[in-house]
Each structure stands twice: as C-alpha cells, then as structure tokens.
Amino acid sequence: MTKVYLDSDATLSTLEGRTIAVIGYGSQGSAQAQNMRDSGLRVIVGLRPGGNSWQRAKKDGFEVYPISKAAEMGDVILLLIPDMVQPMVYKEAVEPNLDDGKTLDFAHGFNVHFKQITPPENVDVIMVAPKGPGLRVRETYLEGFGVPALIAVHQDYTGKAKETALSIAKALGCTRAGVLETTFKDETESDLIGEQTVLVGGLMELIKCGFDVLVEAGYPPELAYFEACNEAKLIMDLIYKSGLIGMLRAVSDTAKYGGLTVGPRVIDERVKENMRKVVKEVQSGKFAEEWIKEHKSGEKRLRELMEMTDSLEIERVGRTIRRMAGIEK
Ligand code: NAD
Ligand code: MG
C-alpha cells in the first residue's frame, strides 16, 4: 500500500520565517490562505486590483497586493487561479519574480504536465492538491480535521521540495486526514479521466439517460426525477460512508438483486471500451490541446453546451422539485 503521510510525518518549520504568497482568492485560494494563516504562517494574497476577490481577502484580514508584488514578496508562491488563466498570469507576473530557491506550488498538475508553464530550473516546483472543493478544505479545518490531499514534486532544486509540500499539506490540515505522494502526470491524468468518465461526465449522462428513458416510457417527469436524480444522492451517500457492500446492505433485497444482476447489463463492456478511449485521449494530450484551443477561442462551445443543459426538461422539473422540497432556495 502507498505510504500515507500524517501529521507526525510533517513539520511546519520548513515554512516558518518564509512568506507565503497565495495568488487567487477563489475556491482553493481563500480556503488555503485562511488555513495556512490559522496554522500560524505568514500569508499574503496576490490579486488583480479592483477584482471581486480583493475586498473579500481584505475583509478576511489579509494583506493584499497586486499579483506581481505578492510574487516578489513571497518565498513560497501558491498559484490558485483557474487553470486556463494560469499560463498568462504566470508569464506576466510570477516568472519575473521567481528568484533562486523559491517554491512554486500548484493545486493541480495540468499546466506543468502539459507544458503550458515551464518554471526555471533554480526553483522548487511542487503540488499540494486537496481532494475536495475549497469549501470543504476550510470547513473540515475549522472542525479540527482536514480533507485528504495528494502531493508531488516536479522539480527539487533545494533538496527540500517534498518537505515543503508536506508542510503546506500540514498547514492546510490535510495531514490530519492523510496525504499520498504522486506525480504531476498521474494526478493530472487521473483527475481528468475521473471527472470525464465518472464524476462530471459519466454520472451526468447516466442520470440524463435514466430520466429520459423513464419519461419516454410514460412515467411523470417528477417521478422520473426522483428516481433517476434525487435518489442518486442517497445512494452515493451510502457508498461514500460504507462502500458498495455497505450500500447494498442498506437497500432492500429486491434492489440488491435487481441492481447486481441488471446493472452490468446497462453499464456493460462497451462503456468500459469508451472509457479506455478517454484514457488514451487524456494521456496523449489530445484532450488538453482541444480544451486549451476552446479556451483561447472564447469558449463558445462550452457556453453552448451549458445553455443546452440548462434548457433540458430534467432541469426544469428538477428546479421545481428542489424548491418544493426546500433543497434549493
Ligand atoms: P477559482 O475559479 O475559484 O479561482 C478564482 C480566483 O482566481 C478569483 O477569485 C481570482 O482571485 C482569480 N482569478 C480569476 N481570473 C483571473 C485572471 N484572469 N487573472 C488573475 N486572477 C484571476 O479557482 P479554483 O477552483 O480555486 O482553482 C484553483 C486551482 O486549484 C486550479 O489549479 C484547480 O485545478 C485547483 N483545484 C481546485 C479544486 C476545486 O475544488 N475548485 C480542487 C482541487 C484543485
Ligand atoms: Mg478535477
């Protein structure tokens, strides 16, 4: 089994006396900056003057600077802005301030792995990727715990890159939950494959298909919504808490038998074959190339797909039901 790093495997001393510059104050930036500060470290925030985040970071009590100033002041620089924005901001404001021996930290390996950002040789390049949205990173920290995280070292100039990554993970609360070491390549590829085949892509399509088939068969859309979407959360909660077998033990025997015998007929070998193609497209860089191109040309296709999804019947019915049930205000 891969080694799991816990609180006792990490020390904050590598970061004491160093200034940590968090660039970006969104989901990860705001959570990570606050956790590290509450862990006793010196944290400053780098943002665009006049941007929405500026006031929020100020209100949360941070010293806020324009990005290049923060990068200049920071010994450890956390690049926590959207992945597609990172290369430009890096080039303009961060790279010119990467003095010898500084640390550049990412929360996702995309830009380094796909060579959109190539840092100079005389800095450490690391990743600390919490396995959870920023909100959870903050919430769990305040509860005295943390979310698990992945760490990786892309470049170890000082000989202390891994120690620094573990220190950051500790300051975020992640070593309380457990930290695994990986590589930029594995984190990036598995993250993309996971979100495309299972999490964002796979789940959404499964729910849509289930809903459509029920409606097509003449069942009321409201009922189809409950079956294909609403209850998916309850099932996932059970799996999250106690595994597949825990979920199976919690549902009725009819559901157990039907699920176990029919499930593999629905999600069959062809689905796996499709997923294997996705794996290849991610590994070859084909997907990254396509997405970077889409971003650079203004994300027209993404906008269209978002609008199309927003106008689906499952969305219309879903909004009504969620409001009725007090799930959505
Ligand atoms: P985000 O979309 O929440 O970041 C928004 C922030 O980035 C803004 O508040 C602003 O401060 C800054 N920003 C936006 N556009 C900018 C621009 N053009 N120039 C300068 N600054 C700009 O980002 P996020 O979701 O926190 O992602 C940050 C990193 O963390 C990414 O590498 C992402 O892959 C990684 N990550 C995110 C999550 C998550 O749950 N959101 C989880 C793990 C890792
Ligand atoms: Mg992801």
Residue 319 lies in a domain: yes
Average the pLDDT over 65-82 and give the result: 98
Task: Looking at the structure, tell me whether residues 112 and 221 fall in a common domain.
Answer: no
Q: How far apart are CA 144 and CA 131, in angstroms?
A: 17
Q: What does the mean pLDDT of the chain come to?
A: 97
Task: Looking at the structure, tell me whether residues 150 and 209 fall in a common domain.
Answer: no
Q: Name the token pair of 167.
A: 């220190």
Asked whether residue 1 carries a pLDDT value surpassing 80, the answer given is no
For the segment 188-200, what is each residue's pLDDT rounded down to a tens digit? 999 999 999 999 9
Which amino acid is located at 137 in the chain?
A: V
Q: What is the pLDDT of residue 231?
A: 95
Average the pLDDT over 97-108 and give the result: 98
Total number of domains constituting the chain:
2
Q: Count CB neighbours of 214 within 10 A.
A: 18
Asked whether residue 247 carries a pLDDT value surpassing 80, the answer given is yes
Task: Looking at the structure, tell me whether residues 93 and 197 fall in a common domain.
Answer: no
Atom of ligand 1 nearest to the CA of 56: 9
Residue 219 lies in a domain: yes
Give the pLDDT band of residue 159 (cuts 50, 70, 90). Answer: very high
Atom of ligand 1 nearest to the CA of 28: 26
Give the pLDDT band of residue 2 (cuts 50, 70, 90). Answer: confident
16 CA → ligand 2 middle, Å:
31
pTM, two decimals, is 0.94
Q: What is the pLDDT of residue 317?
A: 97
Asked whether residue 49 carries a pLDDT value surpassing 80, the answer given is yes
Q: Is 295 a catalytic residue?
A: no
Domain that holds residue 56: 4-182
Contact 71, 93 (CB under 8 A): yes
CA distances from 155 to 21, 227, 285 (A): 19, 49, 21
Residue 129 lies in a domain: yes
For the segment 112-135, what is each residue's pLDDT rounded down to a tens digit? 999 999 999 999 999 999 999 999
Q: Count CB neighbours of 163 within 10 A.
A: 19
Cα-based angle 329, 200, 166 (whole degrees, multiple of 5) = 100
For the segment 260-318, what is each residue's pLDDT rounded down to a tens digit? 999 999 999 999 999 999 999 999 999 999 999 999 999 999 999 999 999 999 999 99
Task: Looking at the structure, tell me whether residues 116 and 200 fall in a common domain.
Answer: no
Contact 5, 169 (CB under 8 A): yes
- Percentage of the chain lying above the pLDDT 70 cut: 100
Contact 30, 57 (CB under 8 A): yes
Ligand nearest to the CA of 88: 1
The DSSP secondary structure of 223-251, one letter per residue, reads HHHIIIIIHHHHHHHHHHHHHHHHHHHHS
Q: Name the token pair of 321.
A: 């039901």
Task: Looking at the structure, tell me whether residues 159 and 284 fall in a common domain.
Answer: no
Cβ < 6 A, ligand 1 pocket:
24-29, 47-48, 51, 53, 80-83, 85, 89, 107-108, 129-130, 133-134
Boundary-marking domain end, from 152, 182, 212: 182
Do strands 19-23 and 124-130 pair parallel, antiparallel, or not at all (unpaired)? unpaired
Residues with CB under 5 A from ligand 2 (ion): 191, 195
| Dihedral Cα 107, 111, 117, 121, nearest 10 deg | 60
Residue 329 lies in a domain: no
Boundary-marking domain end, from 156, 182, 208: 182
Task: Looking at the structure, tell me whether residues 41 and 165 fall in a common domain.
Answer: yes
Task: Looking at the structure, tell me whether residues 156 and 195 fall in a common domain.
Answer: no
Boundary-marking domain end, from 158, 182, 206: 182
Atom of ligand 1 nearest to the CA of 67: 20
